[in-house]
Every structure is written in structure tokens, then in C-alpha cells.
Structure 1
Amino acid sequence: MTDDRPADHPDLADFGRTVDKLRKINAALMKRVERSMDQQANAFSLFQTAISQEAQIKLRTDELNHALSKLAHTNVELSAARDAAERANSFKTRFFTAAGHDLLQPLHAARLTLSELMEAQDKPDNRRLAQNISNALTTIEELLTSILDISKLEAGVFVPNFQTVALGGIFEHLAGSLEPVTRRKRLDFRWRPTRLGVRSDPLMLRRMLQNLLANAAHYTESGGLLLAARRRGDQVAIEVWDTGPGIASQERQHIFEEFQRGSASRHSGGTGFGLGLAIVRRMSEALGHELTLESRVGRGSRFSITAPYAAPTTKTEPNGAPLRSERADLVAKPLIVIDNDLGVLEAMQALLSRWGADVRLARDLDDVAEILSDPAFAPAIILADYHLDSGVLGIEAVKRIRHKTGCDVPAILITADRTEVAARAAIDFKCELLHKPIRPAELRALMQHLLA
């Protein structure tokens, strides 16, 4: 039997529409499946990328931890090396300080004894030999002092203590110290009175000017020296002039280096180790003061230190120039000398007695008390070593003498201690300060100045 329904029968049309609908649904499902597979592929790709990045992050983290561990180990080594260097510097400073004190002490006694020996010589040949010995002692003293200063600068011991510094008092002190040298060489030393003040460290500034003046006096054979200060706006220029051999232009940069001396000074027969100006340069850098030099060969030099201006808190009464020390007589002047070194006491007694003074000797505070128990003895000047035995300081002896006598007896501290502590103690207790080994002419000039 055959189906004789026409092609456009309703059932066939529905069937065709159903087939088309199923095809569309199938196509939609296929697209969704394809999108889902694409998403899964992307997710898998991202997953693989994440795993790869995690591995790289772990690798970089391990490398960073290794680097940090290595850096920490290096820091420990550097810290240990720094501590070792600081200990070495501290040891070197203590060694130089102790060795310098021990070496300067016998030099001090030798210089005092030699001075007495020179005065006792009548024959020119003997006096010449004694003078040669004195020159050798001076050379050793200058070298030791310079080495001590250089070692302290390298170790950072010199730490500036900035304050207002009146230049008048410093100029007067420096003039009194230099006068015996310039008088012996017949140089005309002048210093200009000043009421100017600067912002600086008084001890370091005085040391710098002392080195410049000593250097000028050392190399100047004729003419003279000048110490002056000029205000330039908010700065003060402190100048040291001399009529020495001068410094050639090609040598001016090197003259401030250690162990450097100008050819003109060498040709003139000057001696020295070229450390004085190096110390001045290092101290000027530590203070932030400008250091300049102008010089003409055969005519002389001018060294200048520029520091900030500061109005002095106290008025100074500078004497003026040229310097002429008062010749106060030392004959029969009662003096008390305090030192724990018996050799120094004997040398001081011989020297001061030759000058005509009435000398009493003390090694400690008990000896001082015994001397002061004599009501007829009233010291005109005290000469005291800074360090006595058992940690006792000469300052204590000065205080007791002044308290006992009821007046501020002039006192001179004589010490091989070149620290700021000793220098400030002298300032605080109104004492003059001389460093061992002292020059007898300088000691006598200072004593005459105090008595006058």
C-alpha cells in the first residue's frame, strides 16, 4: 500500500520545522561546547603560566634570600673590621700619647740641665758643643710633638669645641711665647692690638697660629714678623706675615702636605720635617676655616686663616706692638716647683737658683703642705707639673696654695700632656701652660711677664 498524501501535507511540514529546529539547537550546543573547550584551554594555559611564574618567583626568592644572607655575613665582617680598626686607632692614640709623655719627660730634664751647662761654660768651644746638643734636642722635640698631633688628628681625637674666641688674649699669649726666639734671632716681631672675636675652637686656633708663627720665625733670617687680624664682612682674616725666603708658586699646593718643605727654605739651610703646616691644614679643615697663602720668592709670605666673626663677650686689653718683655728681676723671688720626677726637680732647682730665685721643691701635696707651714714663705709664682703620682693633678696643688695664701698666685702648668683636657684645665683655673720639654728662655720670659 502506498502513501498517497501530498508533499505539503501538514505532518511533513511540522517534521521539517522540527528538523530545522534541532539543527539550530545542535549548532548552538556545538558553539557552547566549543566556547567551553576554549575556556578550559585558556584556563589550562593560565594554570600552566601560573605554575611557571610560581617556579620563577620561588627561584628569585631563593636568590634574594641567598643575597640577603651573604649581605648580612658581609655586614658582620665589615662591622668586625670596623671595630678592629677603631681598636687599632684607639691603641695607636694611647700608645703615642703614653710614649710621647715618657719620651718628652726626660727631654724636659735634659733641656733644663743643658741650659744650666751652657750658662756655666766659659770656653767658646764648650758653648758651641752645648748649643749643638740643644739644637738636636729641639729637633727631637719638634718631631715628637708633630707626630703626636698628626696621630690625634687621624684618630679624630681633635673634636672642635666651637665658642666665641677673643683674639686679643690669644695674640698676647703667642707674642709672649715667641719673643725669646725673635729676640735671639734679632727679628722685629710686631702684633697689632685687636678687639675682634671669632667663632672657633680656642685651643686649635691657638695651635694653628703657633705653628704658623714658629714656621715663620724658623725660616726668617732677617727682617721681621707680623701678626694681625682684619674684619671682612661677617668673616675675620687672621694673618701671619714674614720676610723669609718665600715659597715658589709651583710648591704652594704641596707645602701643606706631610714632610714637604719649600726649596727656598732648604736652600737657606732651614731644618724641620714639614709637619707644622700639615697640622695647620688638617686643623683648618676640621674647623671649616679657610686657609690661604700668598708668597713672593725672596720677599716673604703671608698665611691667612679666615673664621666667622663673633663679638667677644669680654673686653680685652692688648698691649700693642712691637713686643718688649718686662725685665722683672727673679733674684730672691720665692718660687715653688711641684713635680713627681726627682730629676726634673733637681734640674729646675739648679736652673732657677742660677737665675737668683728662692726655690722650694715639692713632689706631692704633703710636701706642698710642709712648705706652706713656713709662715715666712709666700710663693710669688707656682711651677707645677700637671700629672703627679697616684692620679693627683698639679691643679690641686695650685688650688691649695692659693687657698692657703688667700690670693691668686700666678701659676704655670708644665706638662707633656697635650690633650684638650689639660689645656682647658689651665684656662679654667687661670694658669699659664707650657709643654715639656720647655725652653728655659721661654720659661724665664713668661715668669718675668707674670711678675711684671
Structure 2
Amino acid sequence: MKKALARLLGLSRPDADAGISPRARARLLDMTFGRLVFSVNAIPFVGMPFVIWLYVQKLDGGALLAWTLGYGAAAVWMQLRFRRYKQEREDDDALVRRWLPFVQRVALVHGFCLSLAAVLTASLGGFDFKLLLYISIAAIVAANATHQTPILGVFQRFFVACWTLQIVNTPRSFPEHWPFVLPLALLYALAIYRHALIANQFFRQQVRMEDDGIRLAERYRLAKEEAEKALQAKNLFLTTASHDLRQPVHAMGFLIEAIARRNRDPALIPPLDDLRRSVRSVHLMFNSLLDLSRIEGGIASPRNTAVAFAPLVEEVASLFREEARSRGLDLRVRLPAGAAAVLANPALLRQSLVNLVHNALRYTKRGGVLVSARRRGSHWLLEVWDTGVGIAIEEKGRVYSPFYRNEHAWRIDSAGHGLGLAVVARCATLMGATYGLDSVERRGSRFWLRFPEAKPLAPAAIEPVYEPEGLSASTLLQGVCLVVEDDPLVTAAWTSLMEAWGVQAACAASGQEALALVDAGLQPQAILCDQRLRSGESGFEVLKALFERCPDASGAMVSGEFDSEALQQAEREGYLVLHKPLEPSQLHALLFQWLCAA
């Protein structure tokens, strides 16, 4: 019996539930204390109309006036205490231990003092006055049952102190009607208390959900931080190791081209072509992987400028025409006349088009690929059409995700890694462009990029694609090329390819060796220099020193790095920077210009 009474009065502190965190208990105390302050502040506004009523009826309302003014002073005192309470929010557990007993005491006193209004006016006024006062007190109790029950013990003290005195005072206030009013007051007490229990469960469930949400958010934050650390570690590894990873791929491309130039067996032509395509696929996949890592790592911070897209599209198409021809596909370009331009980043736009065209050719067995551009209002739509396998409706939302490839793609070409379209999506996002696709399964797809139109460039500012007349992969070259490269495997590949093209190649592993060759009488027309040399020298400084000795020579930096400060400085100063793995056709065209000019 004692335990039941203690629980009813809130003395057992059922609200200090071990399943609720200190933060949640403090949150419940916030709501309860705030509602208690509001309840005390409202009482003077409730009491004044009744005081005026008594004075209008020429009855003694002095006691009720004193009660109302006392509540006014209590309201000011509660505001000050509540302000002090808000200032003590450093430790939730200590806050609850310090302030919960105070709030419970205030609730008990508030309940008792609220019911005093009926006691003080029990012999005053008529039935309608007393009934309206009872109804007003009941409404205040109901409001507190809804909003003051986050901590049930606080409401229990308020309710028991208030409504017990109301019930005891009922026969005195309603001497003729108490047999009817008293049962109603008891039923009202049961209903209100049940409502208070339900409201308390709601508040407790709410704070538990808030706790669960905070825990989930913290777990998500920790998981996100771990994922970001793993991503940064992966990107750092790829960025740091990119030079060493590119070296063998670079050498393979050169060696295959050298073997193909020396081959006299017709039976070896098809497998060599397949080998070329495989290495080209590795080039593109490798570039996509590193580009994706650089983009995700925040290394790529592009600036959009006016880009004449016609020369860029033609350049990309020229890279894939031989591959399209070998697959029996038709690669066409349809561009508008004039110097149209879009607002984009040239490098990211080129990479996006390369990936889209490569993707289209890879998954097209018959027909062809069309690269086109169309004006749409103040924007340009760059499109890549194909007659390939197409994409099912349910898969369209996933094709731009890294490492995703559909079932048809795996059957057609198992060598891909699902990175090409992911890089396109990242590049488009960085440029502020929109992207998308339309596709019909087994009939083809249309991938598009939408860019704002830029002011047309002057004709002189548009660099034409250099296509020397009569130049082909079989064109022999003449001249001397000095290559500064410290990797023996790559050096052998350089030498083999240069000799296959008819070029005399002189290789040096360091700047000191290269300068010694020049001092010994070597007069190169072309100089190609790697940036990272094992001797610790800067390739850029070596290249400048060689140009001072050979002022008539042409040359470029060739490196597997992208973010080297030395390479960026070289580009700022107007030097040509080539990146490994270097396409043999690109190198052949470059040497054709340099050696013929020499």
C-alpha cells in the first residue's frame, strides 16, 4: 500500500528510468519546467476576471485579489529561476539532480495554491460564479495533464495537491448540489490522470526516439569518417603511386607498337590489333580510375571557361576512329557550323567525351556511334548515340554509379570495371553541367551533357586539330631524339619504338648523363624528359638546361604525375607536358612536326 501511494505521489521517481539517457531526462525536465512556468504566469490573468466579478456584485474580493497578486509575484520569481536554470546546461545529469526536486516542490505548492481560489470563495458569489471557477481550475489541470507530464512525478504532485483539495472543498462550495458535483469531480480526476499517463508515455517515447536518432546520427558520422579516411588513403595511394603504376602501362603501349611495326607475319596482325585494343582499354580504365580518385579526393578543382567544342569533339573522334573501323562500326560526328562554345572545363569535358565514346563503342556490336551537338535555348546539348545493347528502365538510375555494369555489358565485354560513366557523372557535377541518358533495351542509347552557351570564340582563338597530310602509322621519320628516362623497362620501350619509326634514340638516366651526351656532340632535334628521376633531379630543370645547350631543339615533359608543382609551373611557362601512358599515335604525330621542322 505504501509503495502504491508513493508511486501515485511520484515519490518513487519512476521518471529516472535507466533506459533514458541523461540528455533525454534533461530534455523532459526542460519541457516540464517550461510548462510549469507558463502555468504560474497564466494564473493572474485567470484570477483578475473573478476579482472584478466579485467587486461588481459588491462582494468582498480582497482574499481573491491577494491570491491573484501573490501569483503575480510568484510568476516573476519563476521567470528568474527559469532563466538561471537555462544558464546551467553544462552537465545534463547534474542539472536533473539539482533542479528536479525544485520543480517537484514548486508543482506541489502550485497545485495546492491553485485550489485555494475555490476555498477562498466558497462562501462568496452564486452557483454560476463557483461553477465557472471550478471549470476554470479543471481546464488548467487538463492543460497541465497534456503539457506538464514529460516528468510524471511533477504532474502527480500538482494534480494530487490541487484536485484533492478541490474534492474536499466541494461540499462547502456546493452545499446543495455536492451529491452531483462530487461524483463528476471524481470521474474527472480518473479521466485526467489516465490522460496524463498516456501523455507521459508519448513524451518518453519521443525522447527515446530522439536518443535513437542521435545515436544513429553519431554512428553514421563515425562510419562516414571511417569511409572518408579509407577513401583518402586509397586516393593518396593512387596519387602517390600513379607514376610507378603508369610506367609499365606506358612501356607496354610502346613495345606493342614497336613489335607491330617490325612484324612481317600476316597471321600476327589480328592478335597484335587485339593487343593494341586491350592496352588502349587499360589506358582508358587506368585514366578513369585515377581521374575518379582525384575528383573524389578533391584534388581536381576545375575552372570553367569558354570552350570551342568542335575541335575537341573532332580530336576525341580521331582517337577512336581506328578502333571503330577495326570493330566494323561507323563513327560519325555531326556538329553545327561556326565557332560555337560552351562554358566548361576543357580537360573534364574531353575526359567525359572520351569515356562516353569509348563506352558506346565497347557495347555496340553492329551499327555505329554518332557524336553530335544541338542548341537548346541558351544551352548546348552534346550527345553520344549508339546502336548497342541499351539499358533497361530499372537500371538507368545506377549506370552512373562506380563499378556498376549490367548483365548485357558483362556478356559483351568482361574487361571493363564500371568506372567510365562514374567519371562522367563526377566531371559533369564539377563543371556544373547536367547529364542523363535515354535508352531502349537491345536497341541503343543516347547519353547527353548539357552546358550553358558561352560567347563564341574568335576564329584565331580556336586551335585546329593538327592532321598532317599523308601522315599515318607507317610514315617513317628521321632525326635524333634525346630521351631522359631512368626506368630501364621504359627506356627499352622508348628505344624500340623510336628505332621502329626510323628515329635515332639516345637515352639518359639522369640530367648529368644527358648533358654529357650533348657535350660529347649529340645534337637532338627533339628532347623528351621524365619529371621524377631517381637521381633526385627535377626533370623540368634538366629540360631547361638541355634547351640552353640545344636552342634549336623542340621538346616536352613526359610524366606519370598530374599534380606535381614542377609540371604545373612548366605549363604556366609555356612548356608542353605529356602524361603517361602516352598514345604512340600522339607521339608519332608530335615527332613528325618536330623532326620535319628540324
For normalisation by structure 2, the TM-score amounts to 0.57
Mapped partners of 1:424, 1:217: distance in 2: 37
Matched, 1:384 2:535: no
Task: Please say which of residues 46-55 and 237-246 is displaced more in the overlay.
Answer: 46-55
Give the aligned residue type for 1:370.
A
Query: For residue 361 of structure 2, what is the aligned residue in structure 1?
Result: 217
Q: Which has the higher contact order (CA 8 A, sep 6+)?
A: 1
Say which of 311, 319, 327 aligns to 1:177: 319
> Quick check: 1:354 aligned with 2:493?
no
AA at the equivalent of 1:155 = G
Superposition pairs for residues 368-447 of structure 1, below 5 Å? 368-373=514-519, 377-379=523-525, 381-389=526-534, 392-407=537-552, 409=554, 411-419=555-563, 422=567, 425-426=570-571, 429=574, 431=576, 433-436=578-581, 438-441=582-585, 443-444=587-588, 447=591
Change (3 A) 1:85 1:275: closer
2:385 to 227, 241, 250: 241
Q: After the TM superposition, which of the residue ranges 94-103 and 77-86 deviates more from structure 2?
A: 77-86
RMSD: 4.4
Q: Distance in 1 between matches of 2:464 and 2:394?
A: 38
User: Distance between the aligned counterparts of 1:326 and 1:134, measured in 2?
Assistant: 19
Q: Deviations over 1:258-298 (max 9, x none)?
A: 22334444444463112101110121122111223234555
Counterpart of 1:257 (choices 396, 401, 407) is: 401
Unaligned runs of 5+ in 2: 1-59, 96-214
Structure with the bigger percentage of helix: 2
Matching residue of 1:165 = 307
Identity %: 26
Pairing partner for 2:290 from 145, 148, 155: 148
Preserved CA contact (<8 Å) 1:326 1:449: no
Encode CA deviations 1:322-362: one digit per residue, 9 max, x unaligned. x9872383343322222222221122102211222111112
SS at match of 1:160: coil
Code of the aligned partner of 1:219? Y
Stretch of structure 1 that moved more, 334-343 or 368-377: 368-377
1:204 to 348, 352, 372: 348
Per-residue CA distance 1:68-105 (angstroms, 9 max, x = gap): 999xxx9x999999988776654432212123332222
Q: Residues 317 and 161 of structure 1: is their aligned pair in 2 closer, same or farther, counting only changes over 3 Å?
A: closer
Q: What secondary structure is seen at the aligned counterpart in 2 of 1:146?
A: helix
Do the aligned partners of residues 229 and 403 (structure 1) sit closer, same or farther apart at CA in structure 2, a change above 3 Å counting? farther
Aligned residues: 411
Within 5 A, what are the aligned runs for 1:50-129?
Answer: 50-62=76-88, 64-66=89-91, 90-117=232-259
Query: Following the alignment from structure 1 to structure 2, what is the Cα–Cα distance between the partners of residues 58 and 142?
Result: 66
Matches within 5 A, 1:40-55: 47=73, 50-55=76-81
Q: Could you say which residue in structure 2 is the equivalent of 1:326?
A: 471
1:306 deviates by: 1.7
Aligned twin of 1:31? none
Instruction: State how far apart, in whole Å, the 2-side matches of 1:255 and 1:85 are.
Output: 22
Secondary structure of 1:258 counterpart:
coil
Q: Is the 8 A contact 2:374 2:382 kept in 1?
A: yes
Summarize the Cα distance change of 1:38–1:215 in structure 2 as closer, same or farther, 3 Å threshold: closer
The C-alpha deviation readout for 1:179-201, integer Å capped at 9, x for no partner, is 44345445444444752222111
C-alpha contact (below 8 Å) 2:437/2:445 kept by paired residues: yes
Per-residue Cα deviation, 1:200-251 (whole angstroms, up to 9, x for no partner): 1111111111111222233344544443433333222223334444444444
Structure-2 separation of matches of 1:451 and 1:171: 28
Whether contact under 8 Å (1:167, 1:197) holds in the other structure is yes
1:339 matched to 2:464:
no
Distance (whole Å) between structure 2 residues aligned to residue 109 and residue 319 of structure 1 = 26
Q: CA deviation at 1:46?
A: 5.0
1:312 matched residue in structure 2: 457
Taking a change above 3 Å as real, the CA distance of residues 231 and 110 of structure 1, as seen in their structure-2 partners, is same
Letter paired with 1:97:
T
Matched residue, 2:6: none
For 2:400 and 2:246, locate their aligned partners in 1 and report how far apart those are by CA, in whole Å: 26
Code of the aligned partner of 2:305: Q
**Structure 1: which 5+ residue stretches go unaligned?**
1-33
Give, in whole Å, the separation in 2 of the partners of 1:54 and 1:225: 77
What is the CA-CA distance between 1:367 and the residue it aligns to?
A: 3.1
- State how far apart, in whole Å, the 2-side matches of 1:37 and 1:188 are: 102
Asked if the contact 2:356–2:420 (Cα under 8 Å) also holds between the matched residues in 1, the reply is yes
Letter in 2 for 1:177: L
Q: Distance in 1 between matches of 2:339 and 2:318?
A: 18
Deviations 1:9-41 (A, max 9, x none): xxxxxxxxxxxxxxxxxxxxxxxxx99999877
For 2:511, the equivalent position in structure 1 comes to 365
Kept in 1, the 8 Å contact 2:356–2:421? The answer is yes
The answer to which of 257-266 and 197-206 deviates more is 257-266
Q: Which amino acid aligns with 1:431?
A: L
Q: Which whole-Å CA distance do the structure 1 matches of 2:506 and 2:397 have between them?
A: 52
Secondary structure of the residue aligned to 1:301 is strand
| CA displacement, residues 97-140 of structure 1 (integer Å, 9 cap, x when unaligned) | 12333222233334434544565666788777777776665565
How far apart, CA to CA, are the structure 2 residues paired with 1:228 and 1:104? 32
Question: Corresponding residue for 1:27?
Answer: none
